[in-house]
Chain A
């Protein structure tokens, strides 16, 4: 808040209050209570009541955390509960998460709703790599967290191939649980927008990039899948 920065130089504070004063002046000139006549603590209070300052990072994190775009994607019975979370009863639209996207290029949250077979895992990883950063992943239900009742030769736990940010337990979890998980993620994003998964998982160079960037960097040692190249339409 303006005026609350204790050790700031008095001059700087004065300049900022005057700037705020100028900012507010346009609308208040016609009003009866003209702030131009305010001085000292009265002016400070006037500004404090009307101007909010914050850091850009916090604003961006706040905006991001309040509008996840989940990937429209389900694997098994958990997907049914996922639909219900978007339905009218739970209605995650209240928090701004209702825009399920059919393309990973437009999504920033992947919800693994169901069991992941060893045949499906590379496909999911590819979808995740195609998503634009910043991106987050939720593992929903017992199967893709700990493989649940399908703990056998056919499945692989999500943590083995994706950096999962939130695990939602349940078999399947109720829509409330999923909503709670998404809200947990929202809190995480607000507190620490850069979760730094690429460093945590040693995953530099797995980004999927489009077009001209790739052509110049073909010889670079990278595991990225070059979806922008001629003849490869998988990522288009």
Chain B
């Protein structure tokens, strides 16, 4: 299992291969290691971890750190199926430029960073994060809303989005809830 020392070793390896600025922060909390990285280095970091055995992208999450900046986060939960070992990769982007490179598509040999296999499982999850948090995944093959109606405005899981809903008309507040009848 990954421990705090192992996490630091991985972070050090990433710094050596991706540059000193690539790793922003490491956190080890309740047996789970998290490494926060620079968004521009996302794909190569994931590829490096895949080579180390973390070959299964278990899930992708969106996070809103409101009111802290940079506000929006995307978490990639990687799993090493052989050793049953997990690591979380985290990127954070500001709301005025909420762009993260999509990890879904393959990168061809002629493109920068290629050739590299994609993570097809991220397809729908990136669409959901786009839908709910408004993070734009650059290079995603089909970035559309997945849960909300296509003409919906706003990204409802952002923490400054109004909860919405309807005033419930019980007998005692029927008049206020339904308005003049």
Contact = CB atoms under 8 A, between A and B. Distances in A.
B156 A154 contact: yes
Contacts, number: 34
A113 interface: no
A160 to B, nearest CB: 8
Nearest to B150: A119
Interface stretch (A25-33, A75-83, A145-153, A170-178): A145-153
A151 B168 contact: yes
Interface string A137-157: 000000000110001111111
Contacts of B147: 119
B149 A153 contact: no
Contacts of B165: 147, 151-153, 155
Contacts of B162: 153
Contacts of B170: 146
Interface in A107-126: 118-119
B119 to A, nearest CB: 27
B-side interface size class: 10 to 19
Main secondary structure of the interface of B (DSSP, over half): loop
Interface in B107-154: 147-149, 152
B166 A147 contact: yes
Contacts of B164: 152-154
B149 A147 contact: no
B149 A118 contact: yes
Nearest to A160: B166
Interface of A: 118-119, 146-147, 151-157, 160
Given A152-B156, A157-B166, 20 more contacts: A118-B149, A118-B152, A119-B147, A146-B168, A146-B169, A147-B165, A147-B168, A151-B163, A151-B166, A151-B168, A152-B163, A153-B162, A153-B164, A153-B165, A154-B148, A154-B156, A154-B164, A155-B165, A156-B166, A160-B166
By Cβ-Cβ distance, the 6 closest A-B pairs, closest first, are: A153-B164, A151-B165, A146-B168, A153-B156, A152-B165, A119-B149
